Structure 1
Amino acid sequence: MTSSLDDTSLDTPRLLLRRWHDTDLDGLAGINAQPEVMRYIHDGRTLSRAATAERLAAYRRHWDEHGFGLYAVQLKATGELTGFTGLAVPTFLPEIMPAVEIGWRLGRAHWGRGLATEAAQAVVRHSRTALGLRRLVSIHVVGNEASARVMVKLGMTLDRETVQPDTGRRVRVYAMDL
């Protein structure tokens, strides 16, 4: 369902998915500095605060360019930033283009509580009803079974296994028609 905050916010029983605020930088930088969180992201390295600021600016540009993007995910009960969930264009994997990817990243303290699935389900519904998308993909580095479980819970199925060109890491692409 759409929140009353603005037309790009979504809410679930426990979460608010919203556009990024300048005040999110420190929380996101803390998440991106966690080795456990980042081990399956890109080349597996953590990100500095400066690198996180660059990513945050890129997330905002993506929204402006495409009309959709990655949402900041906030716990309703506390207002804490848990990470992100949302949509991106996966240009890092040219063989599957054109495509729209659904993805997520949560801080370690928020794992194992169903939050990634809850947030991703809201994004899938929004993708179908408000954005009119017909297909979503999701990509994970082989070994990231927790992420694969979220993909399966969303109703996605394995489409292919391939190699990410810029890192050489094996990845699995899951897909679903909407």
Structure 2
Amino acid sequence: MDELLTPRILLRRWQDDDLDAFAEITAQPEVMRWIRDGRVLDRAGAAERLDAYRRHWAEHGFGLYALVVRQTGELAGFTGLAVPTFLPEILPAVEIGWRLGRRHWGQGLATEAARAVVDHARDGLGLDRLVSIHQVGNDASARVMIKIGMHLERETTEPSGGRAVRVYAMDLGVTDRLARGSG
């Protein structure tokens, strides 16, 4: 599915004119603090990430959506699905993740968008399970994971950078649907 809508958000595929706004987000030290080694990206680095996101869509049929605030049309960041190849010990898996520009924090946008992506993963893609991974210390992401119904599965070390990470998980199968009263 190319688009998902919530009351406040449009989740859509990436467009060429998203680069400048995305580069602004990835240049914010507060935003990038918990991403990989914590370094910000310049415009060329942001363009490489967008190209990687598009390749992921082409290869897997799902990916990270551009998160647009419907009221303003502003690109706030992303939310979506990816295969977490950086953590081979949990593969095969599909990860739900998000990244928002600093000015969009604390408004519930990540949670709202993540819930829409969870529904699409289950109902649109037929996935039975999702994981989400955060560096230890990134409590804001952990709170979103818990709000969308995930539970802590394990703590481990990300092999390429040696950073401590926590893996959260949720089952999307029949038992989950029955527990939510929609099965």
Name the TM-score, length of structure 2 as normaliser: 0.93
Aligned residues: 172
Structure 1 residue 151, shift from structure 2 partner: 0.1
How far residue 69 of structure 1 moved from its aligned partner, in angstroms, is 0.1
1:48 & 1:90 partners in 2: Cα distance? 23
SS in 2 for 1:123: helix
Q: Does 1:130 align with 2:124?
A: yes
Q: Distance in 2 between matches of 1:13 and 1:31?
A: 23
1:11 shift after superposition: 0.4
2:85 corresponds in structure 1 to: 91
Distance in 2 (alpha carbons) for counterparts of 1:137 and 1:8: 22
Cα-to-partner distance string for 1:41-81 (whole Å, 9 max, x where unaligned): 00110011001101101100100100000000000001000
Residue 56 of structure 2 aligns with which residue? 62
Q: Helix, strand or coil: the match of 1:102?
A: strand
CA RMSD, 1 decimal: 0.5
Q: Which runs of 5+ in 1 are unaligned?
A: 1-6
Distance in structure 1 (CA, Å) of the matches to 2:49 and 2:31: 16
Percent identity of paired positions between Structure 1 and Structure 2 = 74
Residue of structure 1 equivalent to 2:175: none
Give the equivalent residue in structure 2 for 1:40: 34
Match of 1:119 in 2: 113
What is aligned with 1:12? 6
Q: Counterpart of 1:171?
A: 165
TM-score (norm 1): 0.96
* Ranges of 4+ aligned residues in structure 1 off by more than 3 Å: none
**AA aligned opposite 2:120:** H
1:8: how far off? 1.6
Which residue of 2 is the match for residue 81 of structure 1? Answer: 75
